[in-house]
Amino acid sequence: MSHHQTQHQHTECTSCEEAHPSRFRGGIVPTEAKPLTYEEVNTTVLAMLEPPTYRWWLFLALCLAAVAIGGVSWTRQILKGMTEAGKSHPDMWGGYITTFVFWVGIAHSGTLISAVLYLFRAHFRMPIYRLAEAMTVFAVLTAGLFPLIHLGRVWYFYWLMPYPNERAIWPNFRSPLLWDVFAVSTYLTISSTFFIIGLIPDIAAARDAAKTKFRKILYGITSLGWSGSHSQWKHYTAAYLFFAALATPLVVSVHSVVSWDFAMSIVPGWHATIFPPYFVAGAIFSGIAMVITIMVPLRKIFGLERILEPKHFDAMCKLILLTSGILTYSYGIEFYTAWFSNNEFERAQFWFRPFGEVGAAFWGMTFCNCIFPQLLWIKKLRTNIPFVFCVTILINIGMWLERFNIIVQSLSHEYIPYSWGWYNFSWVDIGIVIGSFGWFGMWMTLFVKFFPAVAITEIKEILPAPRRVAQGGNH
């Protein structure tokens, strides 16, 4: 009761083990009663790098099996052609582009949490940003596969790059598809670099605590000889700040450029100026949901309850509510714009989406993205971690359906009724989409076992520095 003045405060406090013994197991006491020390942060996070159990190997095997399915499907497509993927008139873009936009969207919230919230000095980001940034890098790696897969003749991918060639031609820089190449490549480069820079001091901590020769060598090389001297920290914090400032415009620009793949065309349902903010809000929405989907099991498996607290989930759920609101508004505005425009093709498209052959996809999207997340207005549900996990799974499904609605439904129902048609998923298509989830899962699984998945240094930064004479906190 030492941190309370009265018995009433002690009883009301939800952090005290004595007042609420049933809420605590294993002797873990939350941070309000007993703040973490620097040593405990190191010990807790580096314990995640201990040799894996059978569960890790099992999950990795599942991911590799999914990658193998994707590999077999892609091989079939290369041998037999793009018709194996279900692509035919009028839906020349289908599952691949839907999944590409899905993965690029997932990547955005990682940069939002690591860069944008860093600039805003939002301390709640500290325990979650490393996982979010890892998710960004691996999601962009996954997304980057799809333009290559969609090329068909993937060995000609270098034609997308501007290089002098004997054909004396250059890529068309006026095309949104080429803007996409530059945007996603830049995003991958900057995100990876930002991620690796943030990892350096933590890898140095892992190096100093490594017990096996393999890990000493691995972390010795990847830490680049970091020692944490005063001059290194000075230049490091400056460089990190500039990286955050450079990455911040990418959060807005990359998915805006992706949205222009659609908005710069004249397809009904695509040619709308709301697409850039609509896509960016949707990207952040799906990305935060995916961060929570990854965080919840890792928190349980690795015992990170003292670091990933309910207040962090509460803050992220508020972001989910905000972006869900923006998305709901965008859906409404799309319908309103179609009606107000008096353009018969636009109106027909927006009648087809909810009431056409695959209206279920539209209603599924609306339920998952607009209706169900509204339950997060209730604070008790925002801090109920199993419930939040279920919400985020539905959001991820809903966001895939949103991209499906935009891409496939629009292409299926364009101007001329004679050319209306439908997209048929093939097993190659489905196999490659499954493979992409396996690819992403494989990288995340390897990452959490070999490198610190929680930012040791940044959590220490928000703890009060140890002082012989007690003063205010570190910030």
Partner 1 sequence: MKGPKAVVGVYTFIDDALSAIELAKTSNLDYRVYSPVPHHELEEATLPGKSPVRFLTGAGAVMGCSAGFALAIWTSLDYPLRVSAKDVVSVPGFFVIGYECTILFGGIFTLLALLHFCRLPNILRKIGYDPRFSQDKFGVVIGCQTAMVDDLVARLRQTGADEIQVREGL
Q: Which residues here bind partner 1, judged by CB under 8 A? A: 37-39, 42, 162, 168-174, 178-179, 182-183, 185-186, 189-190, 193-194, 197, 200-201, 204-205, 207-209, 224-239, 242-243, 246-247, 249-250, 253, 257, 457, 460-461, 465-469, 474
Between residues 25 and 230, which has the closer beta carbon with respect to partner 1? 230
- Quickly count: other Cβ atoms within 10 Å of residue 153's Cβ: 10
Instruction: Please give the helix or strand (H or E) that residue 276 lies within, else none.
Output: helix 275-302
Minimum CB distance to partner 1, residue 238 (Å): 4
Between residues 66 and 454, which has the closer beta carbon with respect to partner 1? 454
Minimum CB distance to partner 1, residue 445 (Å): 26
Minimum CB distance to partner 1, residue 90 (Å): 23
Residue of 282, 275, 276, 273 whose CA lies nearest to 108 = 282
Between residues 255 and 353, which has the closer beta carbon with respect to partner 1? 255
Between residues 206 and 444, which has the closer beta carbon with respect to partner 1? 206
- 132 near 114, Cβ under 8 Å? yes
H helices of 405-426, where?
410-412
d(Cα 38, Cα 45) in Å, to the nearest integer?
A: 11
d(Cα 446, Cα 441) in Å, to the nearest integer?
A: 9
Q: How far is CA 31 from the centre of its chain?
A: 28
Between residues 190 and 295, which has the closer beta carbon with respect to partner 1? 190
- 242 near 222, Cβ under 8 Å? no
Between residues 251 and 453, which has the closer beta carbon with respect to partner 1? 251
Between residues 219 and 400, which has the closer beta carbon with respect to partner 1? 219
Between residues 43 and 75, which has the closer beta carbon with respect to partner 1? 43
d(Cα 162, Cα 172) in Å, to the nearest integer?
A: 9
Minimum CB distance to partner 1, residue 401 (Å): 28
Q: How far is CA 419 from the centre of its chain?
A: 36
Minimum CB distance to partner 1, residue 253 (Å): 6
Burial code (b: 16+ CB inside 10 Å, e: under 16) for 368-401 equals bbbebbeebeeeeebbbbebbbebbbbbbbbbbb
Instruction: Please give the helix or strand (H or E) that residue 328 lies within, else none.
Output: helix 310-341
Give every CB contact of residue 139 below 8 A, 6+ residues apart in sequence: 103, 104, 106, 107, 110, 287, 290, 440
Between residues 262 and 313, which has the closer beta carbon with respect to partner 1? 262
Minimum CB distance to partner 1, residue 234 (Å): 5
d(Cα 72, Cα 418) in Å, to the nearest integer?
A: 36
- 401 near 361, Cβ under 8 Å? yes
Between residues 121 and 230, which has the closer beta carbon with respect to partner 1? 230
Minimum CB distance to partner 1, residue 115 (Å): 11
Minimum CB distance to partner 1, residue 196 (Å): 9
Between residues 89 and 174, which has the closer beta carbon with respect to partner 1? 174
d(Cα 247, Cα 113) in Å, to the nearest integer?
A: 11
DSSP 101-136: HHHHHHHHHHHIIIIIHHHTT-GGGTTTHHHHHHHH
Residue of 160, 192, 402, 458 whose CA lies nearest to 281 = 402
- 374 near 278, Cβ under 8 Å? no
Minimum CB distance to partner 1, residue 387 (Å): 35
Minimum CB distance to partner 1, residue 367 (Å): 35
Minimum CB distance to partner 1, residue 453 (Å): 17
Rounded to the nearest 10 degrees, how much is the dihedral formed by the CA atoms of 410, 416, 419, 422? Answer: 30
